Amino acid sequence: MSPTHDKHSSQGLLQAQVDLWHHTLGFVKSVALRCATELRIPDIIQHHGGSMTPSELASKIGLHPSRLPHLRRLMRVLTVPGIFLVPEVASPDNEVSYGLTPTACLLASCDEVRSNISPFLSLLLDSTFTAPFFGMHSWFLDEHSTSMFKKAHGLNFWEMAEQDDTYNQLINDVMVSDSNFLMDIILREYAGVFLCINSLIDFAGGHGGSARAIAKAFPQMKCTVLDHPHVVEGAPTSDHVSFISGDMFKYIPPADALFLKWVFHDWGDEDCVKILKNCKEAIPPREAGGKVIIVDMVVGSGPNMRV
């Protein structure tokens, strides 16, 4: 008997194979989710009263009848991980119907959330964003390559946005939708953080989604967005938010508080330290009310830890 058989039961080996298939085919859930969003399935179900059968969906989408069995498979794939749900009450003809989970509501114009975040999904599953990951092995072997994105496209993420108007617009749409969703929660749960601030600069604030939300909640506060020139040029005008172009690595205008949402995870440790040093130069001392407000993700290191 081989050492493998000594150490693992047959059932354990079969389960290991299943786990490996799950990891290998994990991308199917992502592309299925993208497909459902592009077909506007969450919106269609929402506007149909919150529940639809595949036949009703196919008719509303305008699919050829030959695609109905495949639509059923698509919905089943997205029901298992909890994107859609199957209501306990069956339809009159006993055909399975599908409803929206809170997760699916984030992709639709639901009353429960202020804004949908489907643009974020569109960016993360865009071929420009995903292509670099398929070259990960060659990036590891290339000691001179700074990032997978630049190795794949010849430009880093932000250089691509500066040169590609379509990609730049997609990124700005993502930031606006994310701000509309997230700032509603932040200002509801952590409004005290923004008290007694007279001026605030939103780093890399794009078209001002976060700054507008803050300015609306605190009208007395002077809110400014600092971003790259090509971003500022396309920003909509506002009576409550001003826009300035600049580079946070070179100079940060003075303000009582600096707001950094989804900034630090884009940079390595040395760059983050450089940004924080510039922040320190731009704000008053702590005892005078100076603040650096950071909204970002913290990643665990264990197998069962989550962001």
Q: Are 102 and 112 in contact (CB under 8 A)?
A: yes
**Burial group, residue 209, by CB count within 10 angstroms (0-12, 13-18, 19+):** buried
**Burial group, residue 103, by CB count within 10 angstroms (0-12, 13-18, 19+):** middle
Integer Cα distance of 215 and 62 in angstroms: 43
Helices assigned H by DSSP within the chain: 3-7, 10-24, 26-38, 41-47, 54-61, 68-79, 102-105, 118-124, 127-130, 136-141, 148-153, 157-163, 165-189, 209-217, 229-233, 269-282
Integer Cα distance of 240 and 262 in angstroms: 22
Q: Are 46 and 110 in contact (CB under 8 A)?
A: yes
Which residue's structure tokens are 């529940």?
A: 51
292 phi and psi, to 5 degrees? -120, 115
Active site residue 265: yes
DSSP code of residue 258: E
According to the 3-state scheme, what is the secondary structure of 188-209? HHCHHHHCCCCEEEEECCCCCH
Angle between helices 10-24 and 26-38 (to 10 degrees): 40
Cα atoms in the Cβ-side hemisphere of radius 13 Å centred on 266: 11
DSSP code of residue 266: G
- What residues act catalytically? 265
